[in-house]
Amino acid sequence: MAEQPVAPILETEGLFAKFGKQRVLRDINFQVHRGETVAVIGESGCGKTVLLKMLLALMEPNKGDVRFDGRSLLDLSDRELVKQRLRYGFVFQQAALFDSLNVFENVAFGLRAHRDLDEAQIREEVKERLAEVGLSTDIVAKMPMELSGGMRKRVGLARALALQPEVMLYDEPTTGLDPIMSDVINELILRTKERHHAASVVVTHDMKSAKKVADRVVMLYPLGRLKDGEAQIIFDGTPTELDDSADSRVRQFVRGEAGERISEMAED
Amino acid sequence: MATQTTAPAGPIVYLGQWVAEAIAAFGQFTQFAGAVFGWLFRRRPYPGTLVPTMFSIGVRSVPVVAITGTFIGMVLAVQAFNQFRMMHIESRLGAVINASLVTELGPVLAATMLAGRIGSSMAAELATMKVTEQIDGLRALGVDPTHYLALPRLVACVVLIPLLTCIADFMGVIGGAIVAIKINHVAGFHYWLHSRDSVELWDIGNGLTKSLFFGVEIAVISCFCGFRAGAGAEGVGRAATEAFVYSFVAILMSDFFLGVFINTVYHSIWPVTLSKLGG
């Protein structure tokens, strides 16, 4: 008997997005399977973060659909959408910790809002999540402003993991960090995948990070510089295929070579 | 092949765009206000959000409101005294100072001061949360930002702005009395007698009813400005400024309409008679 194809946990179909007159995404078709980590790479301004936010319905596309576990996120009622969002974890670029709450309250936030746990259970959960991202409980009373960039990112990861998500979305997780802390974050993304068996989407332009954490890499190209009728996803393959891509734009991006980009950008 | 030429956008086009944007913004505001009021009747504020908000809005505003009230009363007494003395009716000073304080100047100027202090601060805080993606963070964690952030601010403003107005009124009465009685030597007995005769419980209720509406306006407008802030420091600054300007305009406009409405209600209950007018 023929094997049934495995349904993706997350899927976009013909996504279009624009802000005012500026078009950002065009006909994006994209799938993520359970346990898979997909890195979305591309130049600044090509729509990576917009795409990531649309996967969680934090932004609505002008056209197209986002399906999570077979259901369209755009057709859900507010209450149902909240239920589905709890199955995600989102790590923001600057961590987006609530600056009026301390570390403990930030990590406990989702638990207090959605789980019926007593204070001792919440304390235990917070302790476990902090340990998972390599932080001690000594910092629980600190406010976000007192933390370094790397610590903030790790607290943001702990907060995202608190509700045991099935899908993790990372928005430029290594941006602004030193090489060691970047690698710490990469290791945490890999460990999170192992422990929680979560599907992950990592938006990044850090090629070292993309190659280390991803099973598959998708590259978006800015719409303004695409030829007519050309797809916006200019690469979809494994990290090892990146260097040998037939598309010179992909190879240049991987190597970090500007090439003719400056003159192209001037024409935008 | 014929070439298409596009006429440069003229003032009519810009005016049309501005009107369309203003209508869209008003629609968004109505939707936002509906959502906040929806939460008011559906769920209580999140635990731990109301008390800090009330402290920030209420307790921290007491000094500024007290100072505002005191000086309104004092200025009224200084300005009115000379006019009244020329007509030899300075003993009636209390009636004018206290009636205008509790019905108009106390609520309006306290609300204006609070729109500057609380409204701008709320808008800037929410705008900063938006710029730093904290509002998206709330939504990602399955929490409605309108419920978590706007509802406690609305409740706090509705409860505390009338109370702060009471403080402004009280301090204004004291300030006016000090200037009139202690500095301008108006007879205290007559000052308070005329005050008692001309300020009714209805007038105090009138002023406090207005302040309740002002509280709603400040909270909803400021939260809306914060939530729709643009990017960066400029967006935060603009949100704070817009929150004050729009709240101020709303306070003045609603003061007029509420004044007309409350007076109509008053006169329908107690019609004006010639005897009351001294005829």
Contact status, residue A85 vs residue B140, Cβ threshold 8 Å: yes
* Residue B97 host element (H or E): helix B93-100
- What's the pLDDT at A54? 94
Which residues is A5 bridged to in the sheet? none
Q: How many domains does chain A have?
A: 1
Res A141 pLDDT > 70: yes
Confidence tier at A267 by pLDDT (50, 70, 90): low
pLDDT at B278: 44
Contact B46 A113 (CB under 8 A): yes
Query: Does A106 reside within a domain?
Result: no
What is the structure's pLDDT at A261?
67
Phi (first) and psi of residue B141, to 5 degrees: -95, 15
Give me the residue from B137, B142, B143 closest to A92, CB to CB: B137
Q: What is the CATH number of the domain that holds A218?
A: 3.40.50.300
Q: How far is CA A226 from CA A22, A46, A230, B118, in A?
A: 14, 11, 6, 48
Dist CA A60 CA A57 (whole Å): 6
Who contacts A160 (Cβ-Cβ below 8 Å, separation ≥6)? Answer: A89, A90, A91, A168, B140
Strand A10-19 and strand A22-32: the pairing is antiparallel
Which chain A residue lies closest to B53 (C-alpha atoms)? A100
Please compute, for residue A228, the number of CA atoms within 13 A of its CA located in the half-sphere on the CB side.
0
pLDDT in tens, A41-70: 998 888 999 999 999 999 999 999 999 998
- pLDDT for B2 equals 47
| A98-115 confidence digits (pLDDT tens) | 999 999 999 999 999 999
A128 located within any domain: no
- Cβ of B132 within 8 Å of Cβ of A83? The answer is no
- pLDDT, tens digit (0-9, with 9 covering 90-100), for A177-232: 888 888 989 998 998 888 888 899 999 988 999 999 999 999 999 888 888 888 89
pLDDT at A111: 93
Query: What does the alpha-carbon distance between residue A100 and residue A18 come to, in Å, rounded to a whole number?
Result: 33
- What pLDDT, on a 0 to 100 scale, did the predictor assign at position B5? 55
pLDDT tens digits for range A219-266: 999 888 888 888 899 989 999 998 888 888 888 888 887 776 666 666
Q: Which two tokens stand for residue A28?
A: 């994006």
Residue to mutate among B131, B141, B236, with most A CBs inside 10 A, is: B141
- Cβ contacts of A163 on chain B, cutoff 8 Å: 141
Give this prediction's pTM. Answer: 0.87
Mean pLDDT value of segment A22-46: 91
Element (H, E) at A65: strand A63-68
Å between B127 CA and nearest CA of chain A: 13
ipTM for this model: 0.89
- The two three-digit tokens of residue A167, written as one number: 């899908």
Average pLDDT over residues A36-43: 92
Residue of B nearest to A105 (CA): B48
Distance between CA atoms of A171 and A91, rounded to whole angstroms? 6
Q: Which chain A residues are Cβ-neighbours of B124 within 8 angstroms?
A: none
Distance CA B155, CA B132 (A): 25
Residue ranges of chain B whose pLDDT lies below 70: 1-8, 273-279
Cβ-defined contact of B143 to A113 (cutoff 8 Å): yes
pLDDT, position A5: 64
Render pLDDT for A5-23 as a digit per residue (tens, 0 to 9): 678 899 999 999 998 888 8
Judge contact between B117 and A76, C-beta under 8 A: no
Mean pLDDT (whole number) for A141-165: 92
- Look at residue A190 in the predicted model and tell me its pLDDT: 92
Nearest Cα neighbor of A74 from A139, A2, A12 is A12
Closest residue in A to B144 (Cα) is: A82
Dist CA B64 CA B50 (whole Å)? 22
Of the residues A98, A101, A159, the best mutation for testing chain B's interface (the one with the most B CB atoms within 10 Å of its CB) is: A98
